[in-house]
Structure 1
Amino acid sequence: MTHSNNNRLSIAPSSVDGAEQIFSPGAVALLEELCREYAHEVDDLLSHRQQRQHQIDNGLLPNFLKETAAIREQDWTIRGIPADLQDRRVEITGPVERKMIINALNANVKVFMADFEDSLAPSWEKVVQGQINLRDANKRDIDFVASDTGKAYRLKDDPAVLIARVRGIHLPEVHVLFDGKPVPGCLVDFALYFYHNYLALLERGSAPYFYIPKLQHYQEAQWWAKVFAHVEQKYCLQVGTIKCTCLIETLPAVFEMDEILHALKDNIVALNCGRWDYIFSYIKTLRQHGDRVLPDRQQVTMDKPFLSAYSRLLIKTCHKRGALAMGGMAAFIPSKDPAENQQVLDKVYGDKRLEARNGHDGTWVAHPGLADVAMDVFDNFIGEGQSNQLHISRDVDAPITASELLEPCQGTRTEQGMRLNIRVSLQYIEAWINGNGCVPIYGLMEDAATAEISRSTIWQWIKHGQSLDNGQVVTADLFIAMLSEEMDVVRKELGDERFVNGKFDEAAKLLTHITTATELVDFLTLPGYQLLTEQQQTTQAA
C-alpha cells in the first residue's frame, strides 16, 4: 500500500499507466480530508436504513414523513440550473471505459452519464483507469485505437455534457483504507473526479457535475450537501458550483423527494426515475408483505399504476421546485435484423412518448442506436426554442397517495419468466465477477439493476410460496433444479469453450446463495465485489 503523509489513508498501488498522476499529493490530500470529516457518518446512515427496513418488515408501510411536512408545504425552489444542463432531452449511459466514453460523447445526445456504479464492475484497475479516461475526456485529449481492428476513435468538436455517477454509499472501496477501514467508494469517485477536472470544466464555462445513486432517505442527501459545501469552500468556489442529479430509484426515497431536493437545494438540478432499481427496491422494501408480490419482470411496465404514480409524482415535485425531471432507461439494443430492429424502435418510441407526455424533461438510452428515436420524441414534445418541460406543473392532478405508490402489480408468474430470470442473473453475475458490469443479454443491455430484479423476483416467489401459471409452487428446490437445467441451456447458447473458460460455476454458487437465503441479500454487488476482488488478487499472484 502507498501512504499519505500522516499514514491515516492508505491506497493500494495500481499497474495502470498514469495512476501516479491520479493519486497526486493534492488529490490524496482532498480524499483524506473528506474521509476524516465524513466517512464515519456513513455507518450511521446505513444503520438508519436498517432501522427503517425493520419497521417495514414488521408491518409499517412506507409513507410521507410527518416530521418534514413543513418542507413539502412551504414555497421554495432550488438555486438554479446552469446553461449547459438546461437541455437534457436525451442522455446516454455507460461505464467509464475509454472507447465507450468517446462513442457516448459523440452520440446524438445531450448528456453522457459516465458510470462508476451499476454498469461498472469496480475492479481497482477499472476504477483508476476510469478516472484517467474522464480526466482526458474533460481535457478534450482522449483517443482510442482498437487492438483487434486498428480502428481509431476520437472526440468530435462539440461532444455531449459529461456527468459522472459515483458509487452508492453502501459500496466500500477495499483498496483505499482510512484508519485501516475501507472507505466509501463514492468518496473515492467524487474526490478524484472533482480534483482532476474542476479547473478544466470551469475554464470552459461548465462545472463538475455528478449523478448520486441509491439514496433512500433525505439524511443521505444532507450528507452529500455537506460534502459539496466543504469542497466548494476549500477551493474558494461559489456556493452551488458543484451540481448533482439524484436518482429516485428506491421505494423509501419516492416519499422524500421534496426533502431530498430541499437538503441539496444549492447543488441539485434534477431527479431521475431510475426505474429498474426502483422495481428492485419495491421488492426489497416490501419483502415481508405477501400481498405485494410482483409478476414476471417483463410485465412490470411503466403503465402499471404504482410505476405511473411514481413517474407523475416525480415530475410534479421537480417542476414545483424548479428542478428537471428525468425519465428512465431504454435498455434495448438495436438488432441487425430489420424487422426485429423495427420492433425495438417501436417499443422505445412508445416508452419515450409516455414519458414525454407525462412531462419528463429528458430520458435515458443505453445504446447510441436508440438516441435518434428518443430525440425525435422529445423534440416533438419540447418544441422549437425550448430546452425542457419545466412549465408542465401537473397542478391539476389529484394528489398522489401512498396507497397509489404501493399498489400491488397485477400479472402472471410463468415458468418461462422464471427460467429467463435465472439465465439473465447467471450470465450477468458471471460477467460481473469477470470484471464486466454492462452486458448485452437477449437483446437488452443488462446492468446490476436488471440482474437485481431477476434474482430478487425469484427470492420473493420462494419466500411467499407463489405458484406459476402452470400450477408449480416456487420453492428453493424448484429453483435449484431449474438452475441446473438453465446452466445447460446457457452452455449450448454460448458454446463449450466460452462456458468452460468462464466462471459459471462460481456465478451459479453466488446466485444460489442470494436466491435461496432466508433473508434477502441487500445488493448482489456486495458479495460480487468480494469475488471480484479475490479474482483480481489471484490474477495478480499468478
Structure 2
Amino acid sequence: MMGVGSYGYPAPATNMNTGARGGYEAPDGVEIRGRYDQEYVKILSKEALQFVVELQREFRNRIKYALECRKEAKRRYNEGGLPGFDPATQFIREGDWVCAPVPKAVADRRVEITGPVERKMVINALNSGAKVFMADFEDALSPSWENLIRGQVNLKDAVDGSITFHDKARNRVYKLNDHNIAKLFVRPRGWHLPEAHILIDGEPATGCLVDFGLYFYHNYAAFRRTQGEGSGPFFYLPKMEHSREAKIWNCVFEKAEKMVGIERGSIRATVLIETLPAVFQMDEILYELRDHSVGLNCGRWDYIFSYVKTFQAHPDRLLPDRVLVGMNQHFMRSYSDLLIRTCHRRGAHAMGGMAAQIPIRDDPVANEAALDLVRKDKLREVKAGHDGTWAAHPGLIPACMEIFTNNMGRNTPNQIQTMRREHASSITEEDLLQRPRGVRTLEGLRLNTRVGIQYLAAWLTGAGSVPLYNLMEDAATAEISRVQNWQWIKYGVELDGDGLGVRVGKELFGRVVEDEMERIEREVGKDKFKKGMYREACKMFARQCTAQTLDDFLTLDAYNHIVLHHPKASSRL
C-alpha cells in the first residue's frame, strides 16, 4: 500500500478488495443497489466507497443549499427579474488577483476532444492527436449503472496504461499509442443529478461526488507518477450557476488532497460557463477556484438551453430557430468575449466551444462544406483570443489544429500573455442579455421534435452521444430542442416562412409529433424502430414539451426510467 494522507487515509492498495460473494463490501451507512459484477469490485472497494462517503457527509447540506438558491433565483427570473453582475462582489471583479500558474503539462490545449467514457472511445480519443481528451460522465453519457462503473474501470485502465479493446466484429485490437497521448480531463455530473444506485445514510448519493471521488481515489497516485507533483488529476466542472457552487468544489478538492496527503492545488479544473447566470459570475468562479483553476470554457449549447430556461416566463425573449442561434448573435459573441477577457486577466485558459460536425463519408462535397464551417468557426475563436477549442469527432482534429497552430504559432502553447484584452467591464449586462434575432419556422419545430425524440430514445437505451443529421448530439442539444418547443407552445409563437400566420399550440405540435415519428421510422427502418425505445421517448419528450411547468432538466425525469426499467441497470432494485 502507498502512504497515508494527513487524515490517516489509506492510498489505493495494489490488490483491491474482492468484495463479498454476490455483493459489495460497503462501509456503514452505504447500500449498493447496482448490479454486482466481479469486475466492478476493484472500483467499488470499501476504501473507495468510504472516500466518497466522507465527501458526501461533509458537503451534502451545502449542495442542498446551493440547489435551493437556484430555485430562489429561478423564482426571481420568473417574476420578471434579470440576471446581472452582483454589486456585493465588485471588489473581486475589480481586484488584481490571478489564478495559480497553469501547469506545464496542460499549457497547450489548442484542440480538445470530448466523448463518453466508453472503452473504445477512451482509447481512440487519447490516440486522436488532440492535446486533451475530456472523458464525460455528464452530457455525453447515459448514466446507467453499467455505463458509470464500467466507465470508471476504463479510466483506471487508461491512467495506468493497460487499457485495450478487442473489436470482435472487425477482429481488431485497440491500445494506446507509445507517444503523443492526449492529457486526460474528467467531467463528473452536475450538482443536480443523483446516483440512485448508491444510498448513503438512506438517501441517493450526489452523482458528481461519486464520479469525482471514485476516479480521484483510484487514479491520483498514477497521475503523480506520470505527470509529476502539482499537475493533476484534471477535471471539467459543469452546470454551475453561481460562485457558491465553485466554492463547494474548491472545498471538495482541498479535502480530497488532504485526505490522501498530496499538495494543495494538485487538482486542477476548468469550469464550463454554460448557464446564463454564471456568465455574470466568471470572475467570482475563478476567484473561488483560483488555486485549483485552469480556466473557463464556452459551453455554448448548454448556454443557449439556459437562456431559454432562465427566461421561461419572459415572452419577449423567445429564441429563433435553433440553427440560427450561433456565435453571430450579439449575446453569444459578448459571452465569448467576456470569457476570454476575464480568463486572460486572471492568467487562465479561455477555451472555445464545440465543433459538433461529424465527417460525411459518402458525400465529399457536403463533407468539405461542413469542414469549411468548422474552419471558419475556429478561425473566429483563435482570432478572438481563445486558447483552444473542442471537437466532437477525431476527423475534425487536423482542421482545428491547423487553424489554431497557424494563428497562434507552433511554439506558443496559449494566448494568455499575448492576447491580454481590454478590461472586461466594457461588456455590459445589456450586451449579454440582448434579444436574439431570426425567424421561427415550422421546419425548426419539426427538427427540434425529430432530434429530441431520437436522442432521448438512444439515451434510454444507454447511448448519451448520438450522431444525427451529420451532427453529434448530446443532452445539451436535446435540451435546446425541448425547451424551445415548450417556449413556442406556451406562448403560441406565430411561425414565419411557409407557416406564416400559423401559431404553435398543442394541436399543431401533436400533428408534428405524428409526422416526425413516421419520418423517424422511415429513416431508421421498421426493425430498429420496433426494437428501440422511440415510442417511450416520444411520450416522454411530448409530455415535457407540453407541460404546464418547464422541467429543469430532461435527464432527471428520464433518469428515473433508467433506474427503474433499464434491463441492465440493477438486478437488486
CA separation in 1, counterparts of 2:569 and 2:156? Answer: 28
CA separation in 1, counterparts of 2:98 and 2:366? Answer: 45
Q: Summarize deviations over 1:287-340 as a string: whole Å, max 9, x none.
A: 111111100000011111000000000000000001100000010011112111
Output the amino acid matched with 2:522: K
User: Is 1:467 paired with 2:497?
Assistant: no
Match of residue 323 from structure 1: 348
Match of residue 380 from structure 1: 406
Match of residue 5 from structure 2: none
State the Cα distance separating 1:538 from its structure 2 match.
7.7
Match of residue 326 from structure 2: 301
Partners of 2:232 and 2:268 within 8 A in 1 = yes
Match of residue 406 from structure 1: 433
State the Cα distance separating 1:533 from its structure 2 match.
1.5
State the Cα distance separating 1:40 from its structure 2 match.
2.5
Partners of 1:269 and 1:323 within 8 A in 2 = yes
Q: Secondary structure at the match of 1:445?
A: strand
Q: Secondary structure at the match of 2:426?
A: coil
Match of residue 536 from structure 2: 506
Task: Report sequence identity in percent.
Answer: 48
- Of 177, 186, 196, 2:218 maps to 196
Partners of 2:195 and 2:204 within 8 A in 1 = yes
Task: Give the TM-score normalised by the residue count of structure 1.
Answer: 0.98
User: Is 1:277 paired with 2:302?
Assistant: yes
State the Cα distance separating 1:398 from its structure 2 match.
6.9
CA separation in 1, counterparts of 2:335 and 2:144? Answer: 34
Q: Summarize deviations over 1:259-283 as a string: whole Å, max 9, x none.
A: 0000011101110000000000000
Match of residue 110 from structure 1: 131
CA separation in 1, counterparts of 2:488 and 2:547? Answer: 13
Flag as ranges the 4+ runs of structure 1 deviating above 4 A: 537-542
CA separation in 1, counterparts of 2:571 and 2:318? Answer: 45
Match of residue 120 from structure 1: 141
State the Cα distance separating 1:541 from its structure 2 match.
6.0
State the Cα distance separating 1:537 from its structure 2 match.
5.2
Match of residue 286 from structure 1: 311
Query: CA RMSD for the aligned pairs?
Result: 1.4
State the Cα distance separating 1:231 from its structure 2 match.
1.0
State the Cα distance separating 1:25 from its structure 2 match.
2.4
Match of residue 14 from structure 2: none
CA separation in 1, counterparts of 2:473 and 2:47? Answer: 37
Partners of 1:135 and 1:196 within 8 A in 2 = yes
Q: Secondary structure at the match of 1:64?
A: coil
Partners of 1:315 and 1:325 within 8 A in 2 = yes
State the Cα distance separating 1:464 from its structure 2 match.
1.8
Q: Secondary structure at the match of 2:218?
A: helix
User: Is 1:491 paired with 2:521?
Assistant: yes
| C-alpha spacing 1:151/1:450, structure 2 compared with 1 (3 Å) | same
- Of 27, 31, 37, 2:48 maps to 27
Match of residue 55 from structure 1: 76
| C-alpha spacing 1:147/1:16, structure 2 compared with 1 (3 Å) | farther
CA separation in 2, counterparts of 1:289 and 1:384? Answer: 47
Partners of 1:90 and 1:363 within 8 A in 2 = yes
CA separation in 2, counterparts of 1:530 and 1:138? Answer: 32
Partners of 2:563 and 2:569 within 8 A in 1 = no
Output the amino acid matched with 1:199: A
State the Cα distance separating 1:513 from its structure 2 match.
1.2
CA separation in 2, counterparts of 1:376 and 1:147? Answer: 35
State the Cα distance separating 1:510 from its structure 2 match.
0.4
Output the amino acid matched with 2:190: G
Q: Summarize deviations over 1:182-213 as a string: whole Å, max 9, x none.
A: 01100000000001100011011242111100
| C-alpha spacing 1:354/1:507, structure 2 compared with 1 (3 Å) | same
| C-alpha spacing 1:172/1:539, structure 2 compared with 1 (3 Å) | closer
Q: Secondary structure at the match of 1:136?
A: helix
Match of residue 333 from structure 1: 358
CA separation in 1, counterparts of 2:169 and 2:564? Answer: 29
User: Is 1:525 paired with 2:555?
Assistant: yes
| C-alpha spacing 1:14/1:466, structure 2 compared with 1 (3 Å) | same
| C-alpha spacing 1:3/1:25, structure 2 compared with 1 (3 Å) | closer
CA separation in 2, counterparts of 1:73 and 1:541? Answer: 55
Partners of 2:193 and 2:206 within 8 A in 1 = yes
Any gaps of 5 or more consecutive residues in structure 2? 1-22
CA separation in 1, counterparts of 2:34 and 2:457? Answer: 26
CA separation in 1, counterparts of 2:147 and 2:425? Answer: 47
Partners of 1:433 and 1:528 within 8 A in 2 = yes
Match of residue 459 from structure 2: 432
Match of residue 180 from structure 1: 202
Output the amino acid matched with 2:350: A
CA separation in 2, counterparts of 1:70 and 1:85? Answer: 30
CA separation in 2, counterparts of 1:330 and 1:214? Answer: 19
Q: Summarize deviations over 1:129-167 as a string: whole Å, max 9, x none.
A: 000000000001111011212111110012100000000
User: Is 1:166 paired with 2:166?
Assistant: no
- Of 96, 102, 126, 2:117 maps to 96
| C-alpha spacing 1:386/1:424, structure 2 compared with 1 (3 Å) | same
Q: Secondary structure at the match of 2:553?
A: coil
User: Is 1:415 paired with 2:442?
Assistant: yes
Match of residue 471 from structure 2: 444
Match of residue 339 from structure 2: 314
Q: Summarize deviations over 1:366-418 as a string: whole Å, max 9, x none.
A: 00000000000100121132100112122177710111101001000111111
More deviation, 488-497/21-30:
21-30
Partners of 1:432 and 1:532 within 8 A in 2 = no
More deviation, 393-402/103-112:
393-402
State the Cα distance separating 1:39 from its structure 2 match.
1.8
| C-alpha spacing 1:538/1:349, structure 2 compared with 1 (3 Å) | closer
User: Is 1:67 paired with 2:88?
Assistant: yes
Any gaps of 5 or more consecutive residues in structure 1? none
User: Is 1:4 paired with 2:4?
Assistant: no
State the Cα distance separating 1:14 from its structure 2 match.
3.4
Q: Summarize deviations over 1:474-527 as a string: whole Å, max 9, x none.
A: 112211111011100100111110111111111011011110011111110001
User: Is 1:239 paired with 2:260?
Assistant: no
Match of residue 534 from structure 1: 564
CA separation in 2, counterparts of 1:79 and 1:540? Answer: 43
Q: Secondary structure at the match of 1:417?
A: helix
State the Cα distance separating 1:28 from its structure 2 match.
1.3
Q: Summarize deviations over 1:199-245 as a string: whole Å, max 9, x none.
A: 01101124211110000001000100110011111122111000111
CA separation in 1, counterparts of 2:215 and 2:381? Answer: 31
CA separation in 2, counterparts of 1:489 and 1:49? Answer: 39
CA separation in 1, counterparts of 2:51 and 2:425? Answer: 47
CA separation in 2, counterparts of 1:287 and 1:539? Answer: 34
| C-alpha spacing 1:119/1:185, structure 2 compared with 1 (3 Å) | same
Partners of 1:62 and 1:252 within 8 A in 2 = yes
Q: Summarize deviations over 1:430-470 as a string: whole Å, max 9, x none.
A: 00011110000110000000000011111111122211112
Q: Secondary structure at the match of 1:405?
A: helix
CA separation in 2, counterparts of 1:538 and 1:201? Answer: 32
CA separation in 2, counterparts of 1:541 and 1:71? Answer: 51
Output the amino acid matched with 1:177: L
